[in-house]
């Protein structure tokens, strides 16, 4: 939504606080939802974040120096027994028992 608001000129940079009080403009944003729907149609499983997930993520964050979203990803992977991750983020490379596939790795497969 921030990217769309910036792209159409409602705000000058991607900053949540700039959109907070622009109710009329926010109501007109729709591209972000179309993009969200296309992601949901990709046969992707959306996992919930509950209290136990937050605790697992905190342990991963403390153990590996991960940022919040990255720690949630690793915690979910561990919960579901996943060991392979497709990501351009090299910050996952030092996580034990996790194999990261970069976009260039994936391009070689196709």
List the domain range (segments joined by +) for residue 31. Answer: 2-40
What global pTM score does this model have? 0.63
Domain shared by 76 and 32, yes or no? no
Domain shared by 62 and 105, yes or no? yes
How many Cα atoms sit within 13 Å of 68 on the Cβ side?
Answer: 2
pLDDT of residue 109: 66
Domain shared by 68 and 103, yes or no? yes
Task: For residue 46, tell me if it sits in a domain.
Answer: no
How many domains in the chain? 2
pLDDT of residue 110: 57
What pLDDT, in 10s, does the model give residues 53-99?
999 999 999 999 999 999 999 999 999 999 999 999 999 999 999 99
Domain shared by 30 and 56, yes or no? no
Task: For residue 84, tell me if it sits in a domain.
Answer: yes
- For 82, the 3-state DSSP assignment is coil
């Amino acid at each position: 939504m921030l990217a769309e608001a910036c792209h159409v000129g409602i705000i000058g940079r991607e900053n949540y606080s700039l959109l907070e009080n622009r109710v009329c403009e926010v109501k007109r944003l729709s591209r972000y939802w179309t993009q969200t729907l296309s992601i949901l149609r990709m046969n992707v499983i959306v996992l919930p974040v509950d209290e136990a997930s937050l605790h697992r993520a905190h342990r991963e964050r403390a153990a590996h120096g991960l940022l919040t979203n990255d720690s949630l990803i690793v915690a979910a992977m561990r919960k579901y027994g996943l060991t392979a991750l497709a990501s351009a983020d090299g910050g996952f490379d030092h996580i034990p028992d996790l194999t990261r596939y970069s976009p260039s790795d994936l391009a070689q497969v196709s």
